[in-house]
Amino acid sequence: MLNFHIITLFPESISAYLSSSILGRAQKNKKISVSFYNPRDYTDDPHRRVDSIPYGGGPGMVLEPVSFLKAAQAAAGRKRNVEFIFFTPSGRQFDNKIAQEYADKATNSKNFHMIMLCGRYEGIDARVPEILNAKPFSIGPYVLSGGELPAAVLVDAISRRLPGVLGDDLSIEERRVASSKVYTRPETLKWKGKEYKVPEVLKSGNHKKIELWRKENSKY
143 binds ligand ADE (CB under 6 A): yes
13 binds ligand ADE (CB under 6 A): no
129 binds ligand ADE (CB under 6 A): no
60 binds ligand ADE (CB under 6 A): no
Q: Between 91 and 214, whose beta carbon lies closer to ligand ADE?
A: 91
Instruction: Please report, for residues 164, 167, 176, the alpha-carbon distance to residue 170 in angstroms, rounded to integers and kept in the order given.
Output: 9, 9, 10
How many Å apart are CA 123 and CA 63, to the nearest integer? Answer: 6
Residue selected from 16, 73, 107, 140 as contacting ligand ADE according to rule CB under 6 A: 140
How many Å apart are CA 207 and CA 194, to the nearest integer? Answer: 29
Contact 135, 128 (CB under 8 A): no
Q: Between 32 and 118, whose beta carbon lies closer to ligand ADE?
A: 118
How many Å apart are CA 125 and CA 65, to the nearest integer? Answer: 5
Residue selected from 39, 65, 129, 150 as contacting ligand ADE according to rule CB under 6 A: 150
Stretch that binds ligand ADE, among 68-76, 87-95, 105-113, 155-163 (CB under 6 A): 87-95
138 binds ligand ADE (CB under 6 A): yes
Helices marked H in the chain: 12-18, 21-28, 65-76, 96-107, 127-132, 148-159, 170-178, 207-216
How many Å apart are CA 88 and CA 144, to the nearest integer? Answer: 9
87 binds ligand ADE (CB under 6 A): yes
84 binds ligand ADE (CB under 6 A): no
Binding site for ligand ADE (CB under 6 A): 87-89, 138-140, 142-144, 147, 150
